[in-house]
A and B are shown apart, each in its own frame.
Chain A
Amino acid sequence: MTEIETRSGGSAGAGTGAASASIALDEAANAIPIGRRRSWLGEFIVRSPMSAFWGLVVFAMVLMAVFADVLAPHPPLKPNFRMMTKPPSELHYFGTDQIGRDTLSRVIHGSRTSLTVAFAAVLLGTTLGALWGLMSGFFGGRFDIVSQRILEFMQSFPDLILAMAIAMALGAGTWTVIVAIAITRIPFGGRVIRSVVLSLKEMPFVEAARGLGASNARLMFRHILPQCIAPYLILATTHLGVAIVIEASLGFLGVGIPPPTPTWGNMLSDALNSGLVPPWWLVLFPGLAITITVLAFNLLGDGIRDQLDPRLRRSV
C-alpha cells in the first residue's frame, strides 16, 4: 500500500504531465515483455525525458574524457610564464592558473580522472559488496551474522572520513583513491543485495531448482544472481555521483591523486593555496564541472531506478 502511494506521490519526479499520464500504460507494457512496443531506450526517453537529457550529458562527459587530448586547446600540464593568472579571454576561455596553465584544458582533462576513478571505484566496491551480500544472504547462519556486523562497522564511518583514512594509510595515487572510495561503497552493495537475495531465496523457482538437484553454486549464480542485476545497476548509478564528490573532496584535502595530474579537486585546492584571494575563474569552473557531473549522474540514476524498479525508490 505504501509503495503504491510513494510511487504516485513521487511519480511527479519523472517530470512532465504527459510522461506521468503514460506511466500506467508503460508499466502494463513492462509487465508483459512480449507486448512491448518501444525499445528499452525509447521507453526510457518517453517515461523520463529529464533523465534521458541528463543521460545525454553523462554521455557527453564520457566523450569529453575519452577525447580529452583532442578537445583540450592547450596541454594541461604545460606552464606558460607569460600568461600567469590571467582572467578568461579569447586566448584562454577559462583563464590561466598561477603558472600559466590553461584552466579549460585542465577541466577537460580533469573529467578523465574523475570519471575513471568514479566508474572504477563504484564498479569495484558495488560488485564486491554485491557478491558478499549474495553469499551472506544465501548461506545465512553465522556467516551472515558476522558479515552483517562487519558491514555495520564499516558504515559507522561517514564515507569521506573512511576514504580519507584509507587513502592516507595507503599513500597517494590513482589506485589508492579508487580502492579507498570502493571500500566505502561495499556496505551499500552488501546490504541491498542481501535483502534482495533473502526474499528471492524463498521463491518457488528457487525451491524448484533445488528440488531438481541444483548445487548451491548453480542456485546462486544461475538462478538468483540474474535477479540481482536490476538493483545492482540502480545502486551503481546512484553511487557514481557520490563517488565523484568524494574524489573531489579527497583531492581538495590533499589525499587525492597527487599533482600535477589535473583533477577538479586538486584544481580547487591549488586555487585556495594560490594566495589570500583565489582568482574567481580558478574557483568557478572546476566546481561547475563537479556540480554538473554529479547532477547528471543523480538524475540519470533516478530515471534508471524508476525504469527498472520503482519499488526501490526508498531503499536505494
Chain B
Amino acid sequence: MTTNAGATLTGSTPTGTSASGGTLTGTGNLIRLILRRDRFLMPLWVVVFPLVVAGYVTSFSDLFPTPAELQQYADASRGNASFVALYGQLHGSSLGQLVNWRAGFIPVMVGLASLLTVIRHTRTEEEAGRRELLGATVVGRHAGLAAALISTVGANVVMGVLLAALMIGQQLPTAGSTAMGLEFAAAGAIFATVGAVAAQLTESAGSARGIAITVLGAVYLLRVVGDVSEISGGGLGWAAWLSPIGWVQRLSPYQDEQWAWLLPAVLVTALLSWVAVALSARRDIGSGLLAARLGPAEAAPSLSTSLALAWRLHRGLLAGWAAAFAALGVVLGGVANGVGDLVGTNQALKDVFARIGGREGLVDAYLVSIMVILGLITAAYAIQATLRLRTEETAGRAEPVLATAVGRLQWAASHLVFAVLGPAVVLLISGLFAGLTYGASIGDVAGQVPRVIAAAAIQLPAVWVLAALAVALVGLLPRLAAVSWGVLVVCLLIGLVGTAIQLNHWLLDLSPFTHIPHLPGGDVAAMPVVTLLVIAAVFGAAGLAGLRRRDIPTA
C-alpha cells in the first residue's frame, strides 16, 4: 500500500475540511477504488445529463428557427404556473435562456445522482462491513468520506465542463455556457454534501437515502413555492431564496449572469462537508448518530411465508416509487394543459398541430410522450425488483429460505409478484394523479382520469418484457443479470432520442416501448400488446425453468 500518493492528493482536498493529514491518509487510493467501482455508472450520468441539455438546443432551434418564434414560445410559457413550478422562472427569450429554463429540472436530477453516489460509497460500504476491512488498513479516519466527496464533486466538475463545452460548441455565448456548467456542478456538489451528512445519521443506507432525498424534495419544493408565488404576485417569493436549487438557478445563465449566487452554494458545500466530517469524528464505525431502533422480539403471525418475507423486503421500495410517481403524476398532469398554450401564433407549429388534432391533439401527444417516459422509468423499478432475486442469492439470504419447505419457484414467485404488480401499481398511481391534475385544470376530471390511467396502463406490457428479460438472465445466465440495466439504457436512448435522430426502423423496433399503442388519442391495436405479453411470458418462463435447474451457488 503506497500511502504517499494519498498524502499528496489530500493536500488538494477541495472539501475545505480542517482535518489533519493523518486522518486523510489513503484518500487517494480510496478515490481510485471508487472510480474503479463506478467506472460505468459515474460516466453514465456525467455524460447523459449534458447530452440531454444539448438535445434541447437542437430541438429548440429546429422548432423555433427565428427569434420571433422563440419570443412567442417564451411569452406563452413564462406566465404558465405549472411550467414555472416544474422548470423555474423564464425571463428572456434567447435560445440559451430557453434551453437553460427547459433544463431547469435537471439540476435536481444531478443532485439526486450525487447524493446517491456519496451514500453508496460511505454508508452502504459501512453497512456491508467493507469499510471495516479498509479501516483496519493504512487508511485515515476521514479518508472514506473525503474520497467519496472528492470523487463525486470531481464528477460534477467534469460534468459542468462538458456541459459548458457542448453549449459553446453549439454557438451559445461563452459566459452563459460557463454559468450553466457552474449551475449544474454546484447543484451536484451541494447535494453530494447533503448525502455525506445523511450518511452519518443512520445505520442503514436506505434510511440515509430517504433523509437526503427528503431534503432534496423539500429544497425543490421551496423553489417551486417561491417562484410560483413570485409570478402570481404572492408574498412567498423569499422561499426560493432559501433553496439551494433556487440559488444556482439565479446564476441566470445567458441573461445577466449573477455570479454572486455561487457564493452561498460554495459556502453551503463547505459547511455541510465540515458538518459531515465533524459528525463522522463523533461516532463509531458502523453506528449512526440516530440510534438504531430495535425490532420486535417475535414475528407477527402473518410473517410466515416467503411471500410475507418478500413483502417486508419490497414494501419500502414500492412505497418510495409510488410516492415519487404520485408526485410526478401531479406535476406532469398539471403542466399538460399549458402545452396547448405553446402553439401561440407560430404558423408552422399550428399546421403541425392541426394535423395531430389541434389543441387537444397536442395535449394528447404530450401525454403520450410523458407516459412512455414514465413507462421507461417504471421499467427501472421492475428490473430493480427482479434483480432482488439475484441479490438475495449472492448475499446468501436465499439459501436459508430454500433450505426450508419453500421451493425455488415459490421463492422466485414471491419476489416476482412485486416485479410484476409493483410497476402496475406505480404506473396506475401516476396515471391517476396526472389525470386528476390535468382533468382539474380543464374542468373534466371524470373524463380525463380514465383516459390518462389507460395511457399509463398501456405501458405495462413493455415494462414486463424488460422485467421478464431480467428474469431470463437471472435464471439462465445469472452472472450476466446486470446486463438488464444495459438493455434498459438502450431502450431509454431509443425512446428519448431515437426518433429525433431518425434511427432506422430496425433499431427502433428493438425497444418494446416502440410497439406500445399511443394513448390517449391513438388506436389500440391488440396485436402488438398481445405479442409483447407473449414475449414477456416466454422470457419469464424460460428464466424460471433455468432457475429450477441450475445450482444456487455458494455465496
Q: Report whether chain A binds chain B.
A: no
